[in-house]
Amino acid sequence: MSIAFIDLHPAPTDLKRVVQEGLQREPRQLPAWLLYDAEGSQLFAAICDQPEYSLTRTEISLLESHAADIASTLESGVGSGIGSSVGSGVVVEFGIGNAKKVAPLLRALQPKTFVALDISRSALEHSLTGLAAQHPATQMLGICCDHSQLQDLPTHPWLTGERRIGFFPGSSLGNFTPKDAVLLLQQFRHLLAGGPLLLGLDQPSDPALLEAAYDDAAGMSRAFAFNLLKRLNRDLQGNALPKNFRYQARWQADQQRIEMALVSRCAQTIQLADTAWSFQPNERWVTEHSVKYSPDAAADLAAQAGWQIQQRWHDDQSQMSLHLLVPSN
Ligand SMILES: C[S@@+](CC[C@H](N)C(=O)[O-])C[C@H]1O[C@@H](n2cnc3c(N)ncnc32)[C@H](O)[C@@H]1O
């Protein structure tokens, strides 16, 4: 069993800069990766188990049903010589979290190397160690980083000369604005060096169901958002009081997205990152967006980033789709 880690986590000074930039925006909003410290990763795993949040279960079921078909599509070299064969190639997962999804792909593709990226060091180490035990023939490389800022995959002997296949599940692309999502997909195209990308996205659906999915009755989504305050208070010596905020998740039809926010209950000033930040009553501190993409919107987004959708696998309700993207030229 071979396993290696590379740590490229942003330094504390970067954290301070990112927070200061985000809190100056209107509305105030930080990049979603800040939600994922060790506790945030555990809370996200708990969200995935909630009855209201069906996205994870649906995507796992899609992967289990179609992994062999996905592998044979890849092995046939669909697109432009991006075919894979057992015991070769590199599968690269962006944002592995608790590694609930990649196993069917690893079983079907049996790559030489699996590269997992995640901003959360604890989730990455835990996930990769577990996968290494289940897939002893595959070399496991973990890279702790903000993948939106990664210019290239680090130089490593396991990556040299191998064909790359990307995997980006969980509708994580929806955390980015459509403009930033295009930039991220362009970036992934570069990182995958001509290889394909399997992208999991969910579609717009009933707003009431979506709002419930992001504000579950057990309070896991709420706890996940409030953990941002806890994390910032700890890492940037802040004094934000959770009791002065309430959580809200609401569907914004014009942008086809759920917006999650901490809403200030009162006029208040908090200290964070060496700065005082004032909030008005009812002012929203956006913790996260989740943009939903119809098949047409997904195709349009992919095209803007230099990809085309080669194939799509979806559930009966078309709630969740796995899109196989190949470079468009
Ligand atoms: C929405 S969760 C999805 C987890 C998993 N892929 C799934 O589908 O259930 C996003 C994951 O990506 C990681 N993540 C979020 N933003 C990131 C970034 N900019 N760079 C690297 N990892 C990131 C988080 O730590 C988390 O594990």
10 lines ligand 1 (CB under 6 A): no
pLDDT for the residue 77: 66
CB 69: neighbour CB atoms within 10 A? Answer: 12
Residue of 255 and 162 predicted with greater confidence:
255
Q: Mean pLDDT score of the chain, rounded to an integer?
A: 95
Task: State in Å: Cα 320 to ligand 1 middle.
Answer: 17
pLDDT of 35 higher than 60: yes
Alpha-carbon dihedral 105, 106, 107, 112, rounded to 10 degrees: 140
CB 155: neighbour CB atoms within 10 A? Answer: 8
pLDDT mean over 103-129: 97
Q: Quick: pLDDT tens for 41-91.
A: 999 999 999 999 999 999 999 999 999 999 999 887 654 444 556 667 999
Alpha carbon 53 to its chain centroid, in Å, reads: 16
Q: Quick: pLDDT tens for 225-248.
A: 999 999 999 999 999 999 999 999
Overall number of domains in the chain: 1
Q: How far apart are CA 233 and CA 273, in angstroms?
A: 9
Backbone angles phi, psi at 116, to 5 degrees: -115, 130
Domain assignment present for residue 178? The answer is yes
User: Which domain CATH number covers 320?
Assistant: 3.40.50.150
153: containing domain: 46-205+294-327
Q: Whose CA is nearest to atom 18 of ligand 1?
A: 146
Locate 193 and state its tokens. 């060096």
Using pLDDT thresholds of 50, 70 and 90, give the confidence band for residue 162: confident
Domain assignment present for residue 267? The answer is no
Q: Quick: pLDDT tens for 182-216.
A: 999 999 999 999 999 999 999 999 999 999 999 99
Alpha carbon 279 to its chain centroid, in Å, reads: 29
pLDDT mean over 291-303: 97
Domain assignment present for residue 152? The answer is yes
Q: Mutate which of 8, 34, 36, 144 to test ligand 1's pocket (most atoms within 8 Å of Cβ)? A: 36
Domain assignment present for residue 200? The answer is yes
Domain assignment present for residue 9? The answer is no
pLDDT of 126 higher than 90: yes
Domain assignment present for residue 40? The answer is no
84, amino acid identity: S
Domain assignment present for residue 304? The answer is yes
Domain assignment present for residue 179? The answer is yes
Residue among 9, 36, 65, 67 at smallest CA distance from 172 = 36
pLDDT mean over 284-304: 97
Q: How far apart are CA 135 and CA 145, in angstroms?
A: 23
